[in-house]
Structure 1
Amino acid sequence: MSEQQPGGRVLVSSGAVWEPLVGYSRAVRVGAQVWVAGTTAAGPDGRAVAGTAGDPAAQTREALRRVRAALEEVGARLSDVVRTRLHVTDISRWEEVGRAHGEFFADVRPAATMVEVSALIDPTLLVEVEVDAVVVTDR
């Protein structure tokens, strides 16, 4: 669900219980720019959703589906994405994550970074994705 704020700022919530606790939004749009917060394949309990546990490619796909939904909520598309950041807990599995990323961005080819992190908020989560986009108005 999105919330229009003064000055044209639009906030998107995923409905996660920790958003108000931590003080963040799934996505924020100001003008033509959109920022999508770190997005995982976490279910309501914070653990990886069924079918993604232990599978970084499946978690990447799920996170990117959620990213796409947040972008669409503010009138953006995957084709507007200019930068992605992938945080993975096991860099030796980079190719699985990279191929899943490529399924969404092969034609877009945003600037992308993949880094290994020691852990995410739950040990069943293996991948977190951040996205920046610039909405192109002359489609």
Structure 2
Amino acid sequence: MDHRRHAVGSGSPLEPEIGFSRAVRVGNQVAVAGTAPIAEDGSVAAPGDVYAQTVRCLEIAERALAEAGAALGDVVRTRIMLTDVTRWREAAKAHGERFSGIRPVTTFVEVSRFIDPGWLVEVEVDAVLPAPAPGAEWPVARG
């Protein structure tokens, strides 16, 4: 089994400061870090809108998966963290739009707050790629 480590960055200035990667792939496993609703310009995406923030988190996570050589169909676990769990259905709607046909295991939890008080949700994603055919190489991670 190939245990080479491939780290994927998102360009966040917090990555080197904190010492983390957006995603890490080792062999056939990919883990995507807690992904916040950050707009392209670095601001908070969709202030006050749990659904739209969840969509943004999933867009970022999906891009990180692709850069690691994975896709949404490879996702086996998601974690949805909310500052107000009573709004879980808003996040669930966004999650269901991407995962209703995949149906990974999923956990919704409430947290007291995130780094930015404007973030209402963060998403974590874990994926497992299918093993290559005997004698074949693991797909090369992009990025």
Under a length normalisation based on structure 2, what TM-score does the superposition of the two structures give?
Answer: 0.86
Q: Quick check: 1:125 aligned with 2:102?
A: no
Equivalent position of 2:57 in the other structure: 63
Structure 1 position 45, deviation (Å): 7.4
Distance 1:72 1:45, change over 3 A: closer
- Kindly indicate whether residue 18 of structure 2 is the aligned counterpart of residue 22 of structure 1: yes
Q: What is the match of residue 85 of structure 1?
A: 79
For residue 47 of structure 1, report the CA deviation from its aligned partner. 4.1
- Deviation track 1:28-53 (CA, whole Å, cap 9, x = no partner) reads 0000000000001124776412xx10
Q: Does 1:13 align with 2:9?
A: yes
The reply to whether residue 108 of structure 1 matches residue 114 of structure 2 is: no
Work out the percentage of aligned pairs sharing the same amino acid.
Answer: 53
3-state DSSP class of the match of 1:15?
A: coil
Question: How much has 1:124 moved relative to structure 2?
Answer: 0.6
1:35 aligns with 2:35: no
* RMSD (Å), alpha carbons: 1.7
User: 2: CA distance between counterparts of 1:83 and 1:44?
Assistant: 26
Which stretches in structure 1 are left out of the alignment for 5+ residues? 1-6
How much does 1:99 deviate? 0.9
Counterpart among 35, 41, 48 of residue 44 in structure 2: 48
Once the two structures are superposed, residues 39-83 of structure 1 have per-residue CA deviations (whole angstroms, 9 ceiling, x without a partner) of 01124776412xx10000000000001110000001100000000
Q: TM-score, normalised by structure 1?
A: 0.89
- Rg larger in 1 or in 2? 2
Question: Once the 2 structures are TM-superposed, how far is the Cα of residue 137 of structure 1 from its aligned partner?
Answer: 4.3
Count of aligned positions: 131
Question: CA separation in 1, counterparts of 2:128 and 2:4?
Answer: 15
Query: C-alpha displacement at 1:94, in angstroms?
Result: 0.7
